[in-house]
Amino acid sequence: NAGVMQNPRHLVRRRGQEARLRCSPMKGHSHVYWYRQLPEEGLKFMVYLQKENIIDESGMPKERFSAEFPKEGPSILRIQQVVRGDSAAYFCASSPFRDRNNEQFFGPGTRLTVL
């Protein structure tokens, strides 16, 4: 049973370009969470999705950021018109149920560098 997979592991973009980060949850998990870790800071929650639904996006920046988790395929975190301040590690986690006692399992992260 493969763990949570994220790709790419490293992504370099120039200012103004778009970044697409992908997350495939563990088999059998239908809940996905995205977190961002800025340099020298702790991880911060961004968004929580279930298949085809955004459950909680209270941590998402209001502009340029969007997330989806389609019925088929991975969850996508999309950042439009990237700026240097978007450089960070983006982690995805998954869990099997919408149960607050469920453990979240993390992927290896995507390290985004904006030049």
Q: Rank residues 33 and 79 by Cβ distance to another protein and give the closer one.
A: 33
Neighbours of 91 (CB within 10 A): 22
Q: Rank residues 17 and 108 by Cβ distance to another protein and give the closer one.
A: 108
Q: Locate 6 and state its tokens.
A: 């994220």
Where b means 16+ CB within 10 Å and e means fewer, 40-72 reads eeebeebbbbeeeeeeebeebeeeebebbbeee
Nearest approach, Cβ of residue 88 and another protein (Å): 13
Nearest approach, Cβ of residue 103 and another protein (Å): 5
- Residues at the site binding another protein, with contacts judged by CB under 8 A: 33, 35, 41-45, 48, 55-56, 58-59, 91, 93, 98, 100-101, 103-109, 111
Q: Rank residues 37 and 66 by Cβ distance to another protein and give the closer one.
A: 37
Q: Rank residues 47 and 82 by Cβ distance to another protein and give the closer one.
A: 47
Nearest approach, Cβ of residue 111 and another protein (Å): 8
Q: Locate 112 and state its tokens.
A: 């985004």
Cα–Cα distances (Å) from 60 to 70, 103, 104, in that order, read 18, 22, 19
